[in-house]
Amino acid sequence: MPRQKIAVSDAPNIALIGMMGVGKTTIGRRLARRLSREFFDSDHEIEKASGRTVAGYFRDHGEAQFREGEKRVINRLVDPDIKKASIILATGGGAFTHEETREILNTHCLTVWLKGDLDTLFERVSRNNKRPLLQVENPRAKLQELIEARHPIYAQAHIHVPIAKGPHIRTVNRVIKAIQKYQETNKKPSP
């Protein structure tokens, strides 16, 4: 007997994690439209809450304080006692590296790691200079260092999806298929 497909719409909050430049915001917006859910970008929500840019917050207060503020904003967005409807959330590249934030995300969301290679990511992040962690003499080497440090942490996400070359819709389709497969594999038997 063929297995019945589980509707992705039944999934809880879905949080996209991964390196800067992997396409979390673009893919998140498109995924939200496909699933008829509200979309949030944690960096944008931090900027709204603090009245400052992410780069300005980093510069004036440092990464540690930024991560604490980020944790509070993400908790507000995904805590079922605060936010009742399931959402799609694109997180900042470092959000999942913060242990408490990672616990919040893995508890209240289905976490999806969008995984990209160094060449693709560097080409994408080189298009703008708004990345505070890449404001260094050799941004490519810094990005490689971040990949090496973060990938083992990102691997703690529920689902891993390599980004597709070409249009973002290809990655959106990969995410939906990966969520369906995850749900089928982790489906609880009926009593």
Residue bearing the bigger pLDDT, 3 or 139:
139
Q: Summarize the annotated binding site for ATP as residue ranges.
A: 21-26, 131
- Find out whether 58 and 116 touch, Cβ atoms under 8 Å: no
- Domain-embedded: residue 88: yes
- Domain-embedded: residue 3: no
Give Cα 33 distance to the centre of its chain: 16
Total domains in the chain come to 1
Residue 161, phi then psi, degrees to nearest 5 = -130, 115
**Dihedral angle sign, alpha carbons of residues 128, 131, 133, 135:** positive
3-state secondary structure of 125: helix
- Domain-embedded: residue 2: no
Q: Give residue 179's domain range.
A: 11-184
Q: Summarize the annotated binding site for Mg(2+) as residue ranges.
A: 25
Q: Summarize the annotated binding site as residue ranges.
A: 21-26, 43, 67, 93, 131, 150
- Domain-embedded: residue 133: yes
**Nearest in space to 82 (alpha carbons), one of 72, 95, 92, 67:** 72
Give Cα 63 distance to the centre of its chain: 18
CATH number at residue 165: 3.40.50.300
- Domain-embedded: residue 120: yes
Residue 45 has a pLDDT of 94
pTM of the model: 0.88
- Domain-embedded: residue 155: yes
pLDDT surpasses 60 at 1? no
Q: Summarize the annotated binding site for substrate as residue ranges.
A: 43, 67, 93, 150
Please, what is the average pLDDT of the chain? 87
Q: Which residues contact 70 (CB under 8 A, 6 or more apart)?
A: 42, 46, 92, 94, 95, 98, 101
**Nearest in space to 146 (alpha carbons), one of 56, 25, 22:** 22
**Nearest in space to 91 (alpha carbons), one of 115, 71, 61, 62:** 71
Q: Which two tokens stand for residue 53?
A: 């840019």
**Dihedral angle sign, alpha carbons of residues 21, 95, 76, 48:** negative
The model's pLDDT over 109-159, given as tens digits with 9 standing for 90+, comes to: 999 999 999 988 888 887 776 776 667 788 889 889 999 999 999 999 999
- Domain-embedded: residue 179: yes
Residue 3 has a pLDDT of 34
- Domain-embedded: residue 149: yes
